[in-house]
Copies of this chain bind each other. A is one copy, B any other.
Amino acid sequence: MKAFKATFLAVALSVGFAGATTAQQNEPIKPIPPAEVTDKAKVELGKKLFFEPRLSKSGFISCNSCHNLSRGGSDNLPTSIGDNWQQGPINSPTVLNSSLNLAQFWDGRAANLQEQAGGPIANPMEMAFTHELAIGLLTSIPAYVEEFETVYGTKEITIDEVTDAIAAFEETLVTPDSRFDLWLNGDQNALTKQEIAGYQLFKASGCVACHNGVNVGGASYQKMGVVEPYTTENKAEGRAAVTGVDADRFNFKVPTLRNVEMTYPYFHDGAVDTLTEAVDIMGRLQLGRHFTKEENAQIVAFLKTLTGKQPEIVLPILPPSADETVRPTPFN
């Protein structure tokens, strides 16, 4: 892909001219550090579980179904398809760089990735399984028992181990070396003039007040519709569903803008298909600002520089079920 060729060229250039460049240390957006894998066996186990459809009632839906690592860690649908083709209530957020968020889910109801990972497995609208059935299933498969024992030192598989391993895998799903990060790291040639103008406007007009830090978002909860209300048929309450505080109604975790070109459609209801429209709506509703066509194009051009190096995932080979393994029940 052209974008990646450009990235690699830019890496080469930034290395080549390292002495002549100056990192942008005072910018409100920070580069993503590469993932450090400390427990390779755990990450490999977590990868298997992430791709494991047998953690669903149907044997058809895995984490990767809605957080597709071929597609920016998202399903590119307004709301997801769950067990028995049920329509999910909210847009599936990207799993990429999710370890950099202050909490998980749009309303932040899970404190961390491990807490998140247990949710969809047991959600009747999503994978529609139970933790007990998931543990029973994994325990019936000798290769899994062996692998859990290698990682956790015990033959007893627990849901805490399952979600811990999935979280460990997800922590590796960061996307460093976007062209914007190369620019932050001092490669002046990594961005075009239009892209730099877009970034300046992104800062000057206030977008950066919420979309900042290493994940360009994910660090706070903010109201959807500050200056003008956002109209949607989506029933999500936002943060109020967690705090019970009415003032938190329609407060959502600010989504990351990392890889935003790949994670359409946008907003918690997935109602908006294009970055052009998303930037226009955000400008008006959150900032009271009507971007001109040229300004909009500049910001969109900047946003596309946030696409980082996608994790290189070798598809795991899942161990076959044993004779005793309980079979999936997709149609009843």
A204 at the interface (CB under 8 A from B): no
Instruction: Judge whether A318 is part of the interface by a CB distance below 8 angstroms.
Output: yes
Write out the residue numbers on chain B whose beta carbons fall within 8 Å of the beta carbon of A310: 317
A315 to B68, CA, bound (A): 10
Answer yes or no: A274 CB below 8 A from chain B CBs: yes
Q: Which A246-272 residues have C-beta < 8 A from chain B?
A: 261-262, 264-265
Number of copies of this chain in the oligomer?
2
Q: Give the residues in chain B near A68, CB-CB below 8 Å.
A: 53
Closest to A80 in B: B60
A8-60 residues at the B interface, CB under 8 angstroms: 51, 53, 58-60
Q: Would you give 30 A-B contacts (Cβ < 8 Å), ordered by A?
A: A1-B143, A2-B143, A2-B146, A53-B68, A53-B75, A58-B77, A58-B81, A59-B77, A60-B81, A70-B316, A70-B317, A70-B318, A72-B320, A76-B321, A76-B328, A77-B328, A81-B330, A85-B85, A87-B330, A261-B320, A262-B320, A264-B320, A264-B321, A265-B327, A273-B323, A276-B323, A312-B315, A313-B315, A314-B315, A315-B315
Min CB–CB distance A332 → chain B (angstroms): 10
C-alpha gap A68/B264 in the complex (Å): 25
Residues in B with CB closer than 8 Å to A58 are 77, 81
Residue of B nearest to A325 (CB): B273
- Give the distance to chain B from A152, nearest Cβ to Cβ, in Å: 18
Taking the closest CB of chain B, its distance from the CB of A8, in whole angstroms, is: 14
- Nearest CB to that of A142 among chain B residues? B2
Shortest distance between the CB of A98 and any CB in chain B (Å)? 18
Is there a chain B Cβ closer than 8 Å to A136's Cβ?
A: no
Chain B residues in 8 Å Cβ range of A75: 53, 59-60
CA–CA, A143 and B71, complex, Å: 14
